[in-house]
Amino acid sequence: MKVTVIGSGNMGSAFVKQLRAAGHTVRVAGRDAAKAAALAAQHAGVESVALDGAAQGADAIVLATPYEAAADALRAAGDITNKVVIDITNPLTADYMGLTVGYSTSAAEEIARAVPQVEVVKGFNTLFAQVLADGADFGDGKKATVFLASDSERAKQAARALAESMGFKVTDAGGLKNARYLEPLAGLNIYLGYGAGLGTTIAPTWITKS
Ligand SMILES: NC(=O)c1ccc[n+]([C@@H]2O[C@H](COP(=O)([O-])OP(=O)(O)OC[C@H]3O[C@@H](n4cnc5c(N)ncnc54)[C@H](OP(=O)(O)O)[C@@H]3O)[C@@H](O)[C@H]2O)c1
């Protein structure tokens, strides 16, 4: 798949690494072109591109910017009509104890509302960057889970294909509205990781009794 990653920070870097390792055609763009170029240079076959036009030819776009920058970054990426956009953002308050958008909407819904020409899927937001960078394998046959919420079956299938290609287990979390659950779930994960001291090699998953 051809994937454009917007953002070259912790999550952008982890996506570039794992998507490339999974054999995808990866391009990375950010507001700091030199930083994106430096990231691309670390991975053979990865190209850095200007943000302006970064959406061209992409089968999927990973939005790896802060939530507050996400809609503008998307709009800056050129013709984004009908593009699959994977929203990984967590709109956390400064103290990490709440969501800046509240609980009667979600970052994913707000991005979809602000940029209605794209097909948004929420996912990967419950994984720490370290987990994404290190890989899905947790040992003993355990895999980290990617939860996906979208109103677009096409977007969900694209995100599922990418997640599975990187080795993750996928749980279909329903429509985009359920990002209202996935974003607080990430908040809990962050509390457990930092507040409760479990560290950043944890990830939420769901188990079924056999
Ligand atoms: N870190 C995690 O463990 C984690 C886990 C799950 C989800 N997330 C979510 O993933 C997103 C990225 O997190 P991160 O930890 O990777 O943050 P980060 O390290 O701060 O990286 C953010 C990236 O976004 C870029 N950016 C900021 N404003 C931009 C704009 N207006 N246009 C284009 N690019 C812009 C930054 O560029 P500069 O380099 O120029 O500043 C940087 O490359 C956030 O929404 C976060 O909530 C993070």
Q: Determine what percent of the chain is predicted with pLDDT higher than 90.
A: 99
Q: How far apart are CA 185 and CA 90, in angstroms?
A: 10
Residues 58-92 as b or e (16 or more Cβ within 10 Å = b): bebbbbbbebeebbebbebbbebeebbbbbbbbbb
Average pLDDT over residues 79-105: 97
When the candidates are 3.40.50.720, 1.10.10.10, 1.10.1200.10, 3.40.50.2300, the CATH number that belongs to 2-195 is: 3.40.50.720
CA distances from 1 to 13, 68, 163, 165, 167 (A): 18, 27, 12, 10, 15
Percent share of the chain, pLDDT over 70 = 100
Q: What average pLDDT does range 104-125 have in this prediction?
A: 98
* Predicted TM-score of the model (pTM): 0.98
* Cα–Cα distance, 3 to 24 (Å, whole number): 7
- pLDDT at site 29: 98
Which of 16, 65, 194 has most ligand 1 atoms within 8 Å of CB, for mutation? 65
Give the binding-site residues of ligand 1, using a 6 Å CB cut-off: 6-12, 30-32, 35, 51, 64-67, 69, 72-73, 88-90, 125, 127-129
Distance from the CA of 51 to the center of ligand 1, in angstroms? Answer: 14
The structure tokens listed for 170 are 């996928």
Q: pLDDT grade, residue 106 (50/70/90)?
A: very high
pLDDT digits (tens, 9 = 90+) for 115-141: 999 999 999 999 999 999 999 999 999
Q: What is the mean pLDDT of residues 28-56?
A: 97
